[in-house]
């Protein structure tokens, strides 16, 4: 079970400048059979799709070399589309590069349950070469059996 901090993003104006600010707003926890957002738990059966639209930002990543500006790692986003029609979008923080890959077992389980797209899964896990993708697809066929 892996947990990440959730952040809300807001825009603040200051002397004709807009500044995006992030505020901690709970946790998102990924487990094999459920996903908990703040204090609300959604079983995998109640989730239609899971989509990670961004997952490569981490605390300390260089975002502007000229200003020597580092990221705070909160520009990662997951969308949960529930069977009730509700859509939940969360920005979450990664404190280390490739930390998202710690979810490997859960992500594979979500894919096998039909909730996470194969292309999104391979992108998250960093599987990019044709042969590696082909081998990974074949191992998924026997995964957990």
Statement: 2-141 belongs to CATH 2.30.29:
yes
Neighbours of 9 (CB within 10 A): 13
Query: 55-110 pLDDT, tens per residue?
Result: 999 999 998 888 888 898 999 999 999 999 999 999 999 999 999 999 999 999 99
Provide the 10 A C-beta neighbour count for residue 89.
12
Percent of the chain exceeding pLDDT 70 equals 88
More confident of the two residues 53 and 64: 53
pLDDT digits (tens, 9 = 90+) for 32-47: 999 999 999 999 999 9
pLDDT in tens, 88-99: 999 999 999 999
Q: Where are the beta strands (DSSP E) in the chain?
A: 2-14, 17-30, 34-37, 40-43, 47-54, 59-64, 69-72, 76-82, 87-92
d(CA 50, CA 31): 13
pLDDT band, very low/low/confident/very high, at 24 (cuts 50, 70, 90): confident
Joined tokens for residue 82: 């529930």
Decide which of 28 and 67 is more confident.
28
Q: Is 120 helix (H, G, I), strand (E, B) or coil?
A: helix
Write down the H helix ranges in 10-129.
Answer: 104-112, 118-125
Domain boundaries, the chain: 2-141
């Amino acid at each position: 079970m892996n947990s990440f901090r959730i952040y809300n993003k807001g825009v603040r104006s200051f002397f004709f400048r807009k500044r995006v600010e992030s505020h901690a707003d709970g946790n998102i926890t990924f487990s094999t059979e459920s996903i908990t957002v703040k204090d609300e738990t959604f079983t995998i059966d109640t989730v239609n799709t899971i989509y990670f639209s961004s997952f490569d930002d981490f605390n300390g990543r260089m975002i502007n070399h000229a200003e020597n500006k580092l990221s705070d790692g909160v520009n990662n986003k997951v969308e949960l589309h529930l069977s009730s029609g509700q859509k939940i979008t969360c920005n979450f923080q990664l404190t280390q590069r490739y930390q998202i890959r710690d979810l490997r077992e859960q992500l594979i389980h979500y894919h096998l349950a039909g909730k996470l797209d194969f292309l999104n899964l391979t992108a998250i896990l960093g599987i990019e070469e044709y042969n590696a993708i082909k081998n990974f697809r074949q191992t998924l066929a026997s995964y957990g059996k």
